[in-house]
Chain A
Amino acid sequence: DIVLTQSPALAVSLGQRATISCRASQSVSISRYNLMHWYQQKPGQQPKLLIYRASTLASGIPARFSGSGSGTDFTLTINPVQADDIATYYCQQSRESPPTFGGGTKLELK
């Protein structure tokens, strides 16, 4: 299985930029498709798709969220961070089955 590694937590101030990283144990890109996706999960709620294929914003997601990366290294950026963004963020690959998730990065206020 492809292992995705995320830092457990990130502390950020409101209004600042947050950069969340995800590293894959092998490439999750096929030709021009980067098969890495990002989800947001708030306490007691289901996950919500934020970004798919590394950089495409899902429907209804505000433009302060963005994604980048290819191969094995991917980044989710939130700029500027708002109070409503405090949550845990998961990366997930669909390059091969079974799809796997990172351990999650908990975004906290500094």
Chain B
Amino acid sequence: EVKLVESGGGLVQPGRSLKLSCAVSGFNFNDYWMGWVRQAPGKGLEWIGEINKDSSTINYTPSLKDKFTISRDNAQNTLYLQMSKLGSEDTAIYYCARETTPMLMDAWGQGASVTVSS
């Protein structure tokens, strides 16, 4: 069974940083691009970015490029999202997703909730 499990979410103060993890199982992590998508409360889906199999290519949506960093550890079957300079506009559920081809998400985690508030 394909499983993606996000962790590391929670309440964080404005201006601070937070790192999310996504542990995967049930498929060969090394064979897939992986991505992050977020959803603000009551809103639609926003693609954050993606990383290729060996981390040599990382793409971001331009508006988030300077504050978010995607990485992966193939030995640990884990994807990461480092978020910095967080503001209230970053309050959202953050989903990790497997990409069957770049920018096509065929499996999703259950999401990690991030709330930015003082």
Contact = CB atoms under 8 A, between A and B. Distances in A.
A49 B101 CA distance: 13
A37 B37 CA distance: 15
Contacts of B41: none
Nearest to A37: B104
B11 interface: no
Which residue, A47, A48, A103, has most C-beta atoms of chain B within 10 A? A47
Contacts of B46: 101
B109 interface: yes
B23 interface: no
Chain B, interface residues (CB within 8 Å), range: 20 to 34
Nearest to B108: A46
Contacts of B62: 98
A92 B46 CA distance: 10
14 contacts: A37-B104, A46-B95, A46-B109, A46-B110, A47-B95, A49-B105, A49-B106, A52-B100, A58-B106, A92-B45, A92-B105, A94-B101, A97-B61, A101-B44
The 9 closest A-B CB pairs, nearest first, are A94-B103, A98-B61, A99-B103, A46-B108, A101-B45, A49-B106, A99-B47, A103-B44, A104-B44
